[in-house]
Structure 1
Amino acid sequence: MAKVVVYTLIATAFVILIVLSPLGPSKQHGQDHGSGRNRRLGYKFPVATFDPLMAELEILAQNHGIGDPIKYPLHLENHSFPDEFADAYEYFSEGKLNITLRLIVLFPLLDNSNDGVVSFKELEVWIAQRALQGLNYRTEKELALLDKDEDGIISFREYLSQFSNEDLEKNGQGHGEAGWWKEQLENADADQNGSLSFDELKDFLHPEDSGNEKVQKWLLREKMKRMDYDGDGKLDFAEFLAHAYGIYKNYVEFETAGAAVPTAEEKFAELDVNKDRFLAVEELKPMLPYLHPGELFSSKHYTSYLIHQADDNKDGSLSLDEMLNHENIFYSTVYDENIEDYDEDFHDEL
């Protein structure tokens, strides 16, 4: 494909991101393409890209030095791009992404049961797969950046190269100090061999999506520090009510579409396994997905949002017609969040 065609395609793709994102005209017209969900839940909601094609275009553009394609969609003509972009050309017409065509192509991939509708579970699995691909991509990118000896693993020294030997010996536990980072690395190092494999690095970079119990407990302890007014390492009922219950309540209401939610007293009593009227880290563990939702956990909520918006006959599934009737939501919602900004927000919050 000629370069001029490729340039046109890429510029068109990311102009469309502007038009469909909350920064574009649709937001100015008062339409809510996902931001209302974020405001309601009180958290910057991490979501996967619904369409793998758009995710690939964004990744390829970033890999070729364009920077943020959403902010700089027209600064593409001075770059060379690989032929992979040509695969997307058929989905663009007269300077616009053919969303209808994309959904028609994607629908049978979502409808695994071939029953003519996309169920909640089918859509959730699809979105979770997109989220996992995103986590793997970012981990691969970090591994390639840090793995100086190209042995496929990250040693603690490779990751902590900004610290001197003296810093490491001091083992400072303050936020961002050498000991603070070292503790995270050791928690993620499941086999305790002093280095991080791909999966261990993914747990370290994305602890909110990790199944490693040590990583989860560390993350909870960090969260509890901001809730534990008296510094006793536990939450009493007042601290739980002030910092944790409201977040939990908002999520459960969103999950259950207004069904009865346990009161703060009921939820506290359920979590307080030893009945000492305090919540230790271990007892607060069931709250972690609500206190710090990861992308995999959030797949369920993103699925609920899409079905709530597009399920016209309220049968809990989506037909192709329903998806086409509400086609913009499957694209505009994914640009509420920027992947790298989300990672930065997470580390800043800790």
Structure 2
Amino acid sequence: MRFLRLLVVLAVMVACSRGLSLSDLPHEIDGKHNEHYDHEVFLGKDNAEEFEHLTEEESKRRLGLIVDKIDKDGDERVTEVELTDWIWYVRTSFVANDTNRIWVHLDHEDGKLSWPNYLRKTFGHYDENVESPHSPLYNLRSRVKEERRRWEAADLNKDSLLTKTEFMYFVHPEEGKHTKDVLVLEYTDRLDQNNDGKIDVDEYITDVHVNDKRTQDDQWKDLRRKEFTTRDKNSNGVLDFEEMKEWISPGNYNPSQAEAHHLIHHADSNKDNALSKEEILDSYNIFVGSQALDYGTVLKKHDEF
């Protein structure tokens, strides 16, 4: 179970970093936004049903208390900067808490975790020769090799051991400049059907949910081909590492600011580029399903309210 939970954490964070679907549910049903998609993505399957039974009155009451925290200067206007700061705070808190949750279940010594101990705890065995058909990890060799690559990237001092901080970069490589490249390699591996280390246009088109009906639409596929052409900077018909990196982890992209901008765009009814408490409460469904509330879980912490 610990291994499965760790894989879920890794899969979710990797997916978030490149905007992929995080749920088995479709994002749209017959062209309309599927509210249950957001609940499942942001709350998790176990918590989605519980949140859906939270009354609107109680949701708004708790959300109102959070708005007061976001509005640092108390001027009753939540600016994009204030909302960005809050989302960044929630994001970093989640990363720290998530790292702690996993770290306490691992067998580390003197505050450091070894690769053999990590393998034994998460995979049940330690065996470096995973390519051997006789290895107990042979059927998991792709995952082991992928995580070994993450491990080496996260190991800042190259002592083959991970401190808690280094382990954070292992679990959440999107948080470190020295580990972001691992995400590019992992995503390339997932899309690279012909194993040439690059992504062609057909592989690029497959970058959607398996049940996404748009894949059957020729017009949509034409749009994807145009996107591919834009990303293929050198026009050689494939996306290489640097082009993939610009797509998955653009250097000038601030996810917290992007989310804040998105929320203000949808909730700012008077178009003054800021949000009043009333505007936020009127659009509480949007905020419950956003990073601003740690995907809705902040609303469920009774001890804070």
Q: What TM-score results when the alignment is normalised by the length of structure 1?
A: 0.54
Once the two structures are superposed, the pairs formed by residues 22-171 of structure 1 within 5 Å of their partners are 68=46, 98-149=58-109, 151-161=110-120, 162=123, 164-165=125-126, 167-170=127-130
1:318 maps to what in 2? Answer: 275
| Cα drift, residue 280 of structure 1 | 1.8
Of the two, which has the highest radius of gyration? 1
Q: Distance in 1 between matches of 2:85 and 2:76?
A: 17
1:307 maps to what in 2? Answer: 264
Tell me if structure 1 keeps the 8 A contact 2:188–2:244: no
Read off the aligned partner of 1:147 and give its amino acid letter: D
Q: Distance in 2 between matches of 1:202 and 1:303?
A: 25
Q: 1:220 aligns with which of 175, 184, 196?
A: 184
Identify which range, 183-192 or 324-333, moves more after superposition.
324-333
User: Are the structure 2 counterparts of residues 148 and 281 from structure 1 closer, same or farther at C-alpha, using a change threshold of 3 Å?
Assistant: same
Q: Distance in 2 between matches of 1:333 and 1:216?
A: 23
1:176 maps to what in 2? Answer: 143
User: Are the structure 2 counterparts of residues 115 and 130 from structure 1 closer, same or farther at C-alpha, using a change threshold of 3 Å?
Assistant: same
User: Are the structure 2 counterparts of residues 175 and 243 from structure 1 closer, same or farther at C-alpha, using a change threshold of 3 Å?
Assistant: same
| Cα drift, residue 312 of structure 1 | 0.8
Matched, 1:200 2:166: yes
| Cα drift, residue 282 of structure 1 | 2.7
| Cα drift, residue 279 of structure 1 | 2.5
CA deviation digits over 1:122-157, x for unaligned, max 9? 2122112112111110101111110354x2222212
| Cα drift, residue 110 of structure 1 | 1.5
Q: 1:268 aligns with which of 223, 231, 234?
A: 231
| Cα drift, residue 300 of structure 1 | 4.1
Q: Distance in 1 between matches of 2:269 and 2:103?
A: 44
| Cα drift, residue 100 of structure 1 | 4.5
Q: Distance in 1 between matches of 2:208 and 2:227?
A: 6
**Secondary structure at 2:141's aligned position in 1?**
coil
Superposed CA RMSD: 4.3
**Secondary structure at 2:195's aligned position in 1?**
coil
Read off the aligned partner of 1:267 and give its amino acid letter: T
**Secondary structure at 1:196's aligned position in 2?**
strand
Tell me if structure 2 keeps the 8 A contact 1:154–1:195: yes
User: Are the structure 2 counterparts of residues 218 and 115 from structure 1 closer, same or farther at C-alpha, using a change threshold of 3 Å?
Assistant: same
Q: Give the share of equivalent positions with the same residue, in percent.
A: 24
**Secondary structure at 2:260's aligned position in 1?**
helix
Q: Unaligned regions of 5+ residues in structure 1, if any?
A: 1-30, 39-43, 50-57, 59-67, 74-91, 247-260, 291-295, 340-350
Read off the aligned partner of 1:176 and give its amino acid letter: R
Q: Distance in 1 between matches of 2:238 and 2:167?
A: 33
Q: Distance in 2 between matches of 1:148 and 1:102?
A: 39
Q: Distance in 2 between matches of 1:103 and 1:170?
A: 49
User: Are the structure 2 counterparts of residues 245 and 102 from structure 1 closer, same or farther at C-alpha, using a change threshold of 3 Å?
Assistant: closer
Tell me if structure 2 keeps the 8 A contact 1:34–1:336: no
1:189 maps to what in 2? Answer: 155
Read off the aligned partner of 2:284 and give its amino acid letter: E
Q: What TM-score results when the alignment is normalised by the length of structure 2?
A: 0.61
